[in-house]
Amino acid sequence: MKTLEQQLSRLDLNLLVSLSVLLKEKNVSRSSEVLFLSQPAMSRTLKRLRDVFNDPLFYRESSGLQPTAKALSLQEPLSEILLCVSKLIDSTQFSPQSCDQTFKISLPPLMSRQLSVPLIKQLMQEAPNASLVEYPAALDPTALLKDRSVDFSIHIEKPSQSDEFPCEEIGHTHAVFYAPLTHPLTQQQNVTLNDCLNYPFVDLNLDIRSIFGTHNPVDFYLEQKGLKRNVVFKSGQLNTLVDAMQGTDKLLISTHTLRNLNEFKACLTPVFELKGQAIMDINVYLIEHKRTLNSAAHQWFKQLILNTLRNKAFLIDNRA
């Protein structure tokens, strides 16, 4: 059986370009002018096309060339093929302003609000025709990259196969306990972990495909200490949790990056941090697959992620 390359080796790409022009112009003379060919050369090209497709492709009428049913059926896929070839040739001449790529990224749900918002704002500003699709991170940081479901993964686990999955550290984070401004703990000095656990919690409902399933990572830490928190409300929407907390004694655990968001500064305040605890001091990595290393669009987007998140989401260094 012949390979695809062997089957296509006898086909000159210029024939497809000529067919596209013939379908648009429906005239040999005008088509030859568009392609800067002589009329005899264009006629010979049409003959070759008829041989390749085993079809007349056009009939001569008083109004010009009329495409056959076969020629009409080729028009749409032909346009798609030529567009793809054009993008392939222009891939090294990347311009954010003309980029219409859809980028796909996975990230931990606990960090979604803090990371995706500054990223999409920057993307819309620099590449207004591009788009972004967000997915929850998988347990294995390479899983979604491997099957091409995403282009990049933001994850707290560094991949073991660094040659196939290059990565860079974006920043680091740790758990912070947040309270509404009227909460009793906001009036207390030297708040402890046990103080916080005396109050009920709202919690982000994590997707089952996410890093920790339905279990918040801080709960692993508490279990090791024989502690447990009382979660009274879960939601997949951070804004819903924040609204539900107002006027109550509920607490929320999120990353330190949450307090960088202006919209939450007016309704939430940090009351306790799990800082300096090795198990809760988390590095955050940007991971890609080696197949995107030579893609101008993907490498531009990668730099956009690094610049945006390092300068905004992870700007405040809380490790020291």
Is the pLDDT score of 120 beyond 50? Answer: yes
Domain match, 272 and 126 both = no
Q: What is the pTM of this model?
A: 0.58
- Predicted confidence band of residue 313 (pLDDT cuts 50, 70, 90): low
Contacts for 166 with CB less than 8 Å, ≥ 6 apart: 287, 288, 290, 293
Domain match, 217 and 181 both = yes
Which segments within the chain are labelled E, that is strand? 58-61, 64-67, 102-107, 131-136, 152-155, 167-173, 175-180, 200-204, 230-235, 251-255, 268-274, 282-288
Hey, what's the torsion of the CAs at 290, 157, 262, 244, to 10 degrees? 130
Total number of domains constituting the chain: 3
pLDDT in tens, 182-203: 999 999 999 999 999 999 999 9
Domain that holds residue 40: 4-90
Q: What is the mean pLDDT of residues 50-55?
A: 90
> Is residue 318 in some structural domain?
no
Q: Which two tokens stand for residue 103?
A: 């980028």
Domain match, 148 and 297 both = yes
Which pLDDT value is given to residue 271? 96
Is the pLDDT score of 176 beyond 80? Answer: yes
Most confident segment among 76-80, 91-95, 257-261, 303-307: 303-307
Q: Which has the closest alpha carbon to 52: 5, 3, 11, 7? A: 11
> Is residue 98 in some structural domain?
no
Domain match, 270 and 297 both = no
CATH code, domain with 297? 3.40.190.10
Residue whose tokens read 């509920």: 250
Which pLDDT value is given to residue 318? 40
Residue 57 backbone zone (phi > 0: left; psi -120 to 50: alpha; other: beta): left
> Is residue 264 in some structural domain?
yes
Q: What is the mean pLDDT of residues 88-110?
A: 81
More confident residue, 212 or 90: 90
Q: Compute the distance between CA of residue 66 and CA of residue 244 in angstroms, rounded to an integer.
A: 67
Domain match, 211 and 291 both = no
What is the amino acid identity at position 275? K
Which pLDDT value is given to residue 1? 65
Domain boundary among 62, 90, 118: 90
Residue 121 DSSP SS3: helix
Greatest C-alpha distance within the chain? 93
Residue 155 DSSP SS3: strand
> Is residue 200 in some structural domain?
yes
Domain match, 44 and 115 both = no
CATH code, domain with 24? 1.10.10.10
